[in-house]
């Protein structure tokens, strides 16, 4: 009788291991966070960063993600760092204003060790519609400068502003745009970083 109970118990344990093992590995993989390139101003030994936290994206248009991380979490110097992704392209710390499918974001710098930096939601600007037409050349290039949206501009293009200018850019052409125009990197705190070409 005891042998039968021990045998039955060992069979149950083996079944449980095979049943729950896939769920454990799935849960572990779902908790892993995506690594992104952290701006140099946040890469200091005195500023430990915690894991990235996905924000509630139900209010964001499809294709837009915000990621948050904290430094000095739980202290009086706690800071939140916001990173914006558009169609899986990280928006660099270059633009003062970003608008994607009527979702508007402004760039904020911190004056102190605590507070918020990066891209944060704001009210959308009233972008003026132009009577001029969007051209095939613009589509091939992936952007055009100006603050008026041309007729026929693809819906998924991003409207951006920086100090002294503005443009409409295809999300996958943001890096190419920045390679053509030497726009300064906006400081998240303290010093200004300049984009290296």
For residue range 49-100, what is the model confidence (pLDDT) as tens digits?
Answer: 555 555 656 678 899 999 999 988 889 999 999 999 999 999 999 999 999 9
pLDDT for the residue numbered 31: 41
Sort strands 128-133 and 148-151 into parallel, antiparallel or unpaired.
Answer: parallel
Instruction: Summarize pLDDT for 103-153 with one digit per residue, the tens.
Output: 999 999 998 889 999 999 999 887 889 999 999 999 999 999 999 999 999
pLDDT for the residue numbered 182: 87
Query: pTM for this one?
Result: 0.70
CA distances, 17 to each of 11, 14, 27 (Å) = 10, 5, 15
Contact 118, 98 (CB under 8 A): no
CA dihedral of 147, 151, 154, 156, whole degrees rounded to 10: 40
C-alpha 158: how far from its chain's center?
14
3-class SS of residue 104: strand
Sort strands 184-185 and 193-194 into parallel, antiparallel or unpaired.
Answer: antiparallel
Contact 179, 195 (CB under 8 A): no
Longest CA–CA span in the chain (Å) reads 89
CA 44 – CA 130 distance, rounded (Å): 46
Please count the residues of the chain: 197
pLDDT for the residue numbered 126: 76
């Amino acid at each position: 009788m005891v042998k039968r109970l021990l045998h039955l118990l060992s069979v149950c344990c083996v079944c449980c291991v095979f049943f729950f093992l896939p769920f454990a590995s799935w849960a572990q993989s779902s908790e892993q966070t995506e690594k992104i390139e952290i701006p140099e101003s946040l890469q200091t030994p005195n500023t430990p960063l915690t894991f990235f936290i996905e924000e509630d994206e139900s209010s964001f248009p499809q294709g837009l993600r915000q990621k948050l991380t904290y430094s000095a979490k739980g202290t009086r110097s706690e800071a939140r760092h916001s990173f914006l992704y558009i169609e899986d392209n990280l928006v660099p710390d270059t633009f003062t204003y970003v608008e994607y499918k009527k979702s508007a974001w402004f760039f904020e710098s911190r004056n102190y060790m605590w507070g918020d930096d990066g891209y944060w939601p704001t009210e959308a600007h009233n972008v003026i519609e132009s009577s001029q037409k969007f051209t095939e050349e613009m589509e091939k290039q992936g952007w055009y400068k100006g603050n008026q949206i041309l007729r026929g501009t693809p819906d998924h293009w991003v409207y951006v502003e920086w100090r002294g200018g503005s443009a409409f850019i295809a999300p996958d052409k943001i890096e190419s745009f920045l390679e053509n125009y030497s726009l300064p990197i906006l400081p998240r705190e303290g010093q200004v970083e300049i984009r290296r070409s």
